[in-house]
Amino acid sequence: MYLKIIKSKRKFIFILITLLSLSLNAQDAFEKNCIECHKRLPATLQRMFFNYLLVYSGEKNTKAGLFYYMRYPYKDISVMSELFIQTIGIKKPLKISNRELREAIDIYWEKYRVIGKIK
């Protein structure tokens, strides 16, 4: 009987640790660093994505433009309209690692890209 209690405690601890680790890792870099702020903005992330595509065209240039802007957000390089900038302002530079920023941009690209998704 004593062994059953020990085994059940170990099983309980294993399940608890597994659930905790899953909940801590539930958010990816995009959700963790982008979604929260953009929920409050009038322009959707999809609309902003299309603005970037209009300016930078392809995947490589768009990702590079996003990366640079997230590091050095200046009015002169923003793809948003003058009205948007006057109303909302320019974002603050992201204080995350380059790796995490690139991961968030990759997720953003995959989420909103159209080519390859239309059948």
Overall average pLDDT of the 83-110 stretch = 92
Instruction: Kindly report, residue by residue over 2-36, the tens digit of the pLDDT.
Output: 555 666 777 766 665 665 554 455 578 888 888 88
Residue among 116, 117, 109, 111 at smallest CA distance from 53 = 109
118 pLDDT above the threshold of 70:
no
pTM of the model: 0.71
DSSP type of residue 53: H
100 pLDDT above the threshold of 90:
yes
